[in-house]
C-alpha cells in the first residue's frame, strides 16, 4: 500500500488543538512493509560501519558522531538508486537499527578507554558486555515513557535531530523540489566541512585572539570568544530555534565571560595550585585551561541538579509508568493493545518488566564473575546501575527532546563519583575499585545514551507512521552488533595509537573520567564545592523560570560549540519573521529547516569520510601532504578567513530559505 501523502502534515511540529488528532504520513490503517531482508541487513551493516567510524572520530576529537542523520541519507539514496518503491517505513527501520552505533559509541568511549589510561587491563568481553547490557537497559527503561514524550507532549519539544532526520526521510520519499533543496544543502555543507576536516584550508574554530585588540582581553582578563565554524553545528542551531539556543548560549556566556575571568582575578596572585585536579598555577593558565579545570565542574553540578529537578517534576510520569508496569506484570490489560491502534503498540509492559529482570540478572553475573571478587560488591554495583539508569532515563530523553544534546558525560561523571565513594566505603578501592567504577560507569553511560537517542527514533516513527513495537524489537539487534563493533575498535585503536603519550588519541572525556576517579579511589578530595555551586545555580534558574538543564548544558559544553548554535537560532528567528504573511513565513521556516538538515547530514557524512581518510593515511600521501595547511589554519589569517566563510554560509541559509513563497 502507498502512504496517503509524501509530506508531513501541518500540525507535525506544533501542539495539537483540543480534539485535534495527528495523522502520520503512513496512516495507521495502511501500513507499509517495515522489516524485510533488505531493511534488516542494511540496518545491521550501518550499525557496524558507523560504530567503528564514530568511535575513531570520538576518540580523536572528543565529539561523538550522531549516526541517525547520515544513515537516513544513505537509506534514502540506496532505495532511490535501486528504485525500491514505498520504502519510507523500511528506511525508518534502517535508520533506527543503524543509529544504535553512535549511541553505543558514546556510552563506551566516554568511560572505558579510561581503563587503559589508568594502566589497567581491559578484556574484550568487559567492553562488550558493558556496552550491550547498558544499551538493553536504555531501551527497556524508555519504553514506558514513549507515549508521554512522543504523543502526549506532541509539539511541546523541538526534537532537533528527529526533525532533521524526518525531513530527510520525507524529502527522499517525496522527491521533487524538497529533495533538490536537501541535496544542494548537503553538498554545500558536506564540501565545506570536508575541506576543514581533511585539508585545513581554514580553521575549524575562530578565537577572538586572532583579532589584535581582542588578544589583550584574552591575555589580561581571560575573556575569549570562540566559534566553531562548521556548517553542521550551525544547522543544528537553526533546528533548535532561538529560545533554547539563547538559553544554551547564555549558560556558556556565564561560564566563559563571568566565571572564567572571576577565577583568574582572584587566583592570579596565588603561589599554590588550587583543587585536586589542578597541575598549574591559575596565573599561568589560559581561559581554556581555567574552564576545563574549574568552571566546567560547575556545569556538571548544574546538570546533575537539573537532572534531579527533572526527576522530581517527572515524578508523576515515573510513578504512572511504574504503576502501569506493575499492573500489567500482575495481569492487567496490555497497554500495547490500547485502542487497538497499530501506532499505540509497544512491547507489553509485563514483558518489559521480565526483560529488565533478566538484564539485571545478566549484569549481576557479569559483575560477579567478570569484574569484582565479592558477591556483595556485585550486588552494590547492580543497584547503582539500576537506580541511576532508571532515574536519569527521563533526563536524557528530555535533553534530547529539547536541545538535541544528551548531557550523558556529565551524568556519567556524577555516577563515577557516587560509585567511587560507595565502593570505597564498602572496601573496594585501588586498581580493583577503579576498574569496577569504570565498568559501572560504562553501563550507566550507555544506558543513558541509548535512552536519550532512542526517543529520537520513536519520535521519527511517530511522525512518519512506523509501528513502535517493531522499532523496539529490532533495536536490540542493532545494539548487539554495535556493542561487538565498538569493543573491537576500542581495543584495536588502543593497540595502534594508545590514549596516553605523544601521537595518542585524545579521548578527552575518558581522560576526564580517569582524572576524577583516580583521586577518589586514592582517598583524595573531589571538587565538591564547584559541584554544589552548580547545583545552587540550577536551583536559582528553576526559581526564576529558566530551564536549568538547557542552561547547565551551555555551562558545560565548550563555548565554540554553543556560539554557532546561537547563530543558527538567530537565523531561524529572522527567517520566520521575514514575511508578515503567516503562510509564507511558515514555508520559509520549513525550507530553512530542510537546508539546515542538509547541512547537518552533509557535514556529518563527510566528517566520517574525512576521519576514514586520515585513518588509512590519506594525509601522508606525498602529493596530498603539501596541500594540507594546518599551520595556516591555526594562524590569525586562517581564523579570520574561517569567520568570513561562516558568515557566508549563514547568509546562504537565510537567502535560500526566503525563496519559499505561496504556491
413-457 confidence digits (pLDDT tens):
777 888 888 888 888 888 888 888 889 888 988 998 898 889 889
Partners of residue 206 on adjacent β-strands: 227
CA separation for the pair 560, 533 (Å, rounded):
23
Identify the pLDDT of residue 179: 64
Identify the pLDDT of residue 508: 60
Give the model's confidence band at 379: pLDDT under 50 very low, under 70 low, under 90 confident, else very high. very high
247-275 confidence digits (pLDDT tens):
989 999 999 999 999 999 998 888 888 87
Identify the pLDDT of residue 373: 80
Identify the pLDDT of residue 3: 46
* Rounded average pLDDT over 462-479: 92
**Pairwise pLDDT comparison (410 vs 537), residue with the higher score:** 537
| Cell numbers that stand for 602 in this block | 552533509
Helices then strands, each counted (H, E), the chain = 29, 2
Identify the pLDDT of residue 523: 67
- 385 pLDDT higher than 60: yes
**Pairwise pLDDT comparison (45 vs 404), residue with the higher score:** 45
- 333 pLDDT higher than 70: no
CA separation for the pair 469, 472 (Å, rounded):
5
SS (H, E, C) 293-307: HHHHHHHHHHHHHHH
C-alpha torsion 582→583→584→585, nearest 10: 40
Give the model's confidence band at 644: pLDDT under 50 very low, under 70 low, under 90 confident, else very high. very high
Query: Which one, of 405, 430, 434, 431, lies nearest residue 417 by Cα?
Result: 434
Chain mean pLDDT for the chain: 82
pTM for this entry: 0.72
- 339 pLDDT higher than 60: no
pLDDT above 90 covers what percent of the chain?
23
C-alpha torsion 74→77→78→82, nearest 10: 180
* Rounded average pLDDT over 343-364: 91
Identify the pLDDT of residue 469: 93
Instruction: Tell me the backbone φ, ψ of residue 228, rounded to 5 degrees.
Output: -80, 125
What's the distance, CA 563 to chain centroid? 17
11 three-class SS? coil
DSSP helix, strand, coil percent of the chain (3-state; round to 5): 75, 0, 25
Give the model's confidence band at 213: pLDDT under 50 very low, under 70 low, under 90 confident, else very high. confident
- 536 pLDDT higher than 60: yes
Minimum mean pLDDT range among 189-203, 468-482, 591-605: 591-605
**Pairwise pLDDT comparison (492 vs 505), residue with the higher score:** 492
**Pairwise pLDDT comparison (160 vs 188), residue with the higher score:** 188
- 332 pLDDT higher than 70: no
**Pairwise pLDDT comparison (620 vs 505), residue with the higher score:** 620
* Rounded average pLDDT over 533-537: 91
* Rounded average pLDDT over 225-238: 88
Residue ranges in 110-241 assigned as alpha helix (H): 113-117, 124-142, 146, 160-174, 176-194, 212-220, 231-240
Amino acid at each position: 500500500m502507498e502512504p496517503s501523502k509524501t509530506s508531513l502534515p501541518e500540525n507535525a511540529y506544533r501542539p495539537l488543538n483540543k480534539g485535534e488528532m495527528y495523522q502520520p504520513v503512513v496512516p495507521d490503517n495502511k501500513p507499509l512493509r517495515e522489516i524485510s531482508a533488505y531493511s534488516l541487513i542494511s540496518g545491521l551493516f550501518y550499525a557496524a560501519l558507523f560504530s567503528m567510524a564514530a568511535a575513531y572520530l570520538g576518540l580523536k576529537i572528543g565529539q561523538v558522531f550522531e549516526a541517525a542523520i547520515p544513515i537516513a541519507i544513505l537509506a534514502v539514496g540506496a532505495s532511490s538508486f535501486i528504485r525500491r518503491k514505498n520504502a519510507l517505513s523500511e528506511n525508518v527501520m534502517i535508520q533506527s537499527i543503524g543509529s544504535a552505533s553512535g549511541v553505543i559509541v558514546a556510552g563506551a568511549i566516554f568511560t572505558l578507554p579510561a581503563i587503559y589510561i589508568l594502566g589497567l587491563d581491559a578484556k574484550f568481553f568487559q567492553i562488550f558486555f558493558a556496552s550491550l547490557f547498558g544499551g538493553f537497559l536504555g531501551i527497556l527503561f524508555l519504553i514506558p515513557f514513549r507515549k508521554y514524550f512522543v504523543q502526549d507532549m506532541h509539539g511541546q519539544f523541538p526534537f532537533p535531530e528527529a526533525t532533521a532526520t524526518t525531513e530527510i526521510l520525507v524529502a527522499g520519499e517525496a522527491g521533487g523540489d524538497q529533495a533538490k533543496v536537501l541535496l544542494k544543502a548537503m553538498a554545500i555543507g558536506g564540501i565545506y566541512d570536508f575541506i576543514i576536516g581533511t585539508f585545513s584550508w581554514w580553521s575549524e574554530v575562530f578565537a577572538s585572539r586572532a583579532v589584535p585588540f581582542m588578544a589583550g582581553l584574552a591575555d589580561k582578563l581571560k575573556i575569549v570568544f570562540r566559534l566553531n565554524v562548521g556548517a553542521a553545528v550551525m544547522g543544528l542551531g537553526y533546528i533548535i530555534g532561538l529560545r533554547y539556543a539563547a538559553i544554551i548560549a547564555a549558560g556558556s556566556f556565564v561560564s566563559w565571560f563571568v566565571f572564567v575571568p572571576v577565577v583568574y582575578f582572584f587566583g592570579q596572585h596565588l603561589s599554590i595550585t588550587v583543587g585536586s585536579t589542578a597541575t598549574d598555577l591559575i596565573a599561568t593558565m589560559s581561559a581554556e585551561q581555567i574552564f576545563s579545570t574549574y568552571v566546567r565542574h560547575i556545569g556538571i553540578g548544574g546538570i546533575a541538579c537539573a537532572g534531579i529537578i527533572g526527576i522530581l517534576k517527572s515524578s508523576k510520569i515515573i510513578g504512572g509508568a511504574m504503576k502501569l508496569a506493575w499492573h500489567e506484570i500482575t495481569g492487567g490489560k496490555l497497554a500495547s493493545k490500547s485502542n487497538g491502534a497499530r501506532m499505540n503498540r509497544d512491547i507489553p509492559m509485563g514483558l518489559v518488566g521480565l526483560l529488565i529482570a533478566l538484564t539485571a540478572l545478566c549484569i549481576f553475573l557479569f559483575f560477579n564473575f567478570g569484574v569484582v571478587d565479592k558477591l556483595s560488591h556485585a550486588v552494590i554495583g547492580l543497584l547503582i546501575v539500576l537506580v541511576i539508569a532508571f532515574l536519569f532515563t527521563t533526563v536524557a530523553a528530555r535533553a534530547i527532546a529539547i536541545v538535541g544534546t544528551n548531557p550523558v558525560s556529565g551524568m556519567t561523571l556524577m555516577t563515577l563519583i557516587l560509585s567511587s565513594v560507595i565502593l570505597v566505603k564498602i572496601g573496594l578501592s585501588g586498581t580493583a575499585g577503579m576498574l569496577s567504577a569504570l565498568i559501572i560507569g560504562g553501563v550507566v553511560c550507555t544506558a543513558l545514551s541509548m535512552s536519550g537517542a532512542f526517543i529520537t527514533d520513536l519520535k521519527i516513527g511517530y511522525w512518519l507512521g512506523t509501528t513502535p513495537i517493531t522499532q523496539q524489537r529490532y533495536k536490540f539487534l542493532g545494539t548487539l552488533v554495535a556493542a561487538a563493533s565498538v569493543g573491537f575498535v576500542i581495543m584495536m585503536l588502543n593497540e595502534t595509537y594508545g590514549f596516553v603519550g605523544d601521537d595518542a588519541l585524545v579521548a578527552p572525556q575518558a581522560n576526564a573520567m580517569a582524572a576524577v576517579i583516580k583521586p577518589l579511589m586514592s582517598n583524595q578530595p573531589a571538587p565538591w564545592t564547584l559541584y554544589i555551586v552548580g547545583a545552587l545555580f540550577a536551583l536559582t534558574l528553576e526559581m526564576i523560570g529558566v530551564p536549568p538543564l538547557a542552561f547547565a548544558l551551555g555551562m558545560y559544553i565548550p563555548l565554540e560549540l554553543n556560539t554557532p548554535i546561537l547563530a543558527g537560532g538567530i537565523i531561524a528567528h529572522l527567517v520566520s519573521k521575514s514575511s508578515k504573511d503567516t503562510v509564507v513565513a511558515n514555508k520559509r521556516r520549513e525550507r530553512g529547516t530542510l537546508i539546515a538538515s542538509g547541512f547537518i547530514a552533509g557535514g556529518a557524512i563527510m566528517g566520517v569520510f574525512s576521519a576514514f581518510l586520515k585513518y588509512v593515511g590519506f594525509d601522508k600521501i606525498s602529493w596530498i601532504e603539501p596541500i594540507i595547511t594546518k599551520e595556516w589554519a591555526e594562524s590569525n589569517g586562517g581564523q579570520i578567513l574561517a569567520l568570513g566563510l561562516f558568515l557566508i554560509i549563514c547568509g546562504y541559509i537565510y537567502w535560500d530559505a526566503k525563496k519559499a513563497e505561496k504556491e
